[in-house]
Amino acid sequence: MGEKLVTFAPRANSTCVHLCYGTVVDKVGVRELRNSVAAVVRRAGGGERIIVTVDGEPVAQLGPLESSGQPTIDDLAAAGLVRLPGRTDRPAAPEPFGVPVDVRVSSVIAELRGEPG
């Protein structure tokens, strides 16, 4: 894109989301938008996509007039087509366990059947 004309330092509580396509989408709450609407609109006009949230839920999107390609999860959530996960934590990954690679499947099945082998 072009060179940015406006610099905007996000506040400590604003959240940037890195999507799988490498784009950065900035989330701005309604209160922060109200306090700095001119700067946010300039950023959107400069090509950035900004998701506006109410109580942490995306409700609107500010961005350039032309479409940037495929919709993101935030786009779909703002349109009401998907719900974002309610949990912010993730369960721990299961513990890995060793699987023998030098055992034939036929001998394992024979052992399970109780056949001599």
Model confidence at 113: pLDDT above 90: yes
Least confident of 68-72, 101-105, 113-117: 68-72
Distance CA 102, CA 117 (A): 16
The answer to whether residues 5 and 42 touch, using CB atoms and an 8 Å cutoff, is yes
Residue 73 burial (CB < 10 Å; 0-12/13-18/19+)? middle
* Sequence letter at residue 111: E
Bridge partners of 28, per DSSP, are 52
Highest mean pLDDT among 62-66, 74-78, 81-85: 81-85
Q: Identify the band that residue 24 occupies on the pLDDT scale cut at 50, 70 and 90.
A: low
pLDDT tens column, 31-75: 999 999 999 988 888 878 889 999 988 888 888 876 667 787 877
Average pLDDT over residues 13-35: 66
Question: What does pLDDT average to over the chain?
Answer: 76
According to the model, what pLDDT value does residue 38 have?
92
